[in-house]
Chains A and B, each alone.
Chain A
Amino acid sequence: MSEKTSVIGWSRDEMAQRVALDIRDGTYVNLGIGIPELIARYVPEGREFIYHTENGLLGMGPSPEEGAGEPELINAGKRQVTALPGAAFFHHADSFAMIRGGHIDLCVLGALQVAQNGDLANWSTGAPGAIPAVGGAMDLVAGVKSIYVVTQHCTKKGEPKLIESCTFPLTGVGIVDRIYTDLAVLEVTPRGFQLVELAPGVSFDYVSERTGAKLHPARG
């Protein structure tokens, strides 16, 4: 990945670390591919998160040591992982029963766009000739109790990703609860995007100018 983070604000790792701070001890978590995967490196001391990967493992551990991996022990991104003590394997229908049935507490996903009403677009730009591929994203947003998005605040071209309404095909309607970007933490509320916290050295106006919808100040 050659993705450059902005000069000011949080780095990818700091964004992941910031998300981890908000996850309670004992939470069952499903992490999407990209920045969300980094969260597993920043579990705050004294807490335990249990990772679910939708291809059939609860209790997923970190990548194996070089040469110790197994081609049939992988995560949803098809990368080799490990199974921690207390892990369980299961088939796909059980795995998505955990997801759709509301048993997973939290899912952290990347985004192409998030709308002020909580709509998420993260699977397709709808570009002609693109091969559509949805995977488990629509199931996760439909069934997991809380949906956090972690993403750069703007695209590489500087366009806002947080906007009034999504122009790309939707993954789910009104399902995003919180957004963690390189510039700020935001909440999706009935009246739209509300600031929770600014990254160090970032002003409200700076974030507001880079948000494609009304940004409400943090509750004081």
Chain B
Amino acid sequence: MIDKKVSSVAEAVSGIADGSIVMIGGFGEAGSPVELIHALIDHGATDLTVVNNNTGNGEVGLAALIKAGRVSKMICSYPRSAHSTVFPELYRSGKTSLELVPQGTLAERIRAGGAGVPAFYTPTSVGTSLAEGKEIRSFDGRDYVLEYGLRADFALIKGKVADPYGNVIYNKTARNFNPLMAMAAKTTIVQVASLVPAGELDPEVIITPGIFVDRVVGVPRPVHESTLVAEGVSYP
């Protein structure tokens, strides 16, 4: 019998090696798998390349992973926000490097990576500094930039409900990058607020089919990053 459930977040993140490429779902705090990220900090893997739209808030979740010195490179579209102070300091001191990618290009690179498409042309960024050094090709009289698919060793995903097969549904705008990243990693690890028996999820509404998922862990009452930031919490 297939059962992808694991019993703890520590078990869920086991095996993440130093130097791994890790995709982390979420857009700001929505869909950010904070408990899995904290387990990754405890686990100790370092020299990670992290793919996320942002760079975290305060000193919890992704920001805490960066603050702990575990991230040597960030691939993201918007490494700035009102409560984002950790990354700017490390970036300015040269301790963490940055690959800046337009948000739609980032999403499509991840989707392509998961879909077995090595590269694609996009109109985004043509004529800007982010297209410098990249191949340009014209189709029907318009220029496009060549961008490469992205794959990862691990993806950390936050869903709302999953079953033992790894079928996942999400919560509102917490879906964002999560279903794409789930497709693009060798090992996809999902935390969900609710685990249900197989057959309880309507096949018509499943967003991430279980084939893309390797491990599922229940985190019944996930923390809200903004609450932790407001309380001044610093992890660990």
Contact = CB atoms under 8 A, between A and B. Distances in A.
SS class, residues of chain A in contact with chain B: loop
Contact of A93 (B100, B107, B170): B107
Contact of B100 (A134, A136, A143): A134
SS class, residues of chain B in contact with chain A: mixed
Given A132-B98, A139-B104, A91 B77 contact: no
A154 to B, nearest CB: 24
A61 to B, nearest CB: 12
B137 to A, nearest CB: 15
Given A71-B30, A72-B173, A134-B102, A91 B92 contact: no
A56 B173 contact: yes
Given A57-B173, A72-B171, A173 B80 contact: no
B35 interface: no
Given A57-B173, A138-B128, A133 B80 contact: yes
B209 interface: no
B226 interface: yes
Interface stretch (B42-50, B64-72, B117-125): B117-125
B65 to A, nearest CB: 18
B180 A136 contact: no
Contacts of A170: 127-129
Contact of B29 (A71, A90, A136, A138): A71
A58 to B, nearest CB: 11
Contacts of A83: 172
A137 to B, nearest CB: 8
A74 interface: yes
B100 A132 contact: yes
Interface in B117-169: 122-130
Given A72-B171, A134-B78, A172-B128, A91 B102 contact: no
A172 B104 CA distance: 14
Nearest to B87: A131
Contacts of A100: 104, 108, 122-124
Contacts of A136: 77, 102-104
B107 A92 contact: yes
Given A55-B30, A71-B30, A78-B81, A89 B130 contact: no
Nearest to B171: A72
A53 B103 CA distance: 13
Interface of A: 53-57, 70-74, 78, 83, 89-93, 95-96, 99-100, 129, 131-139, 142-143, 169-173
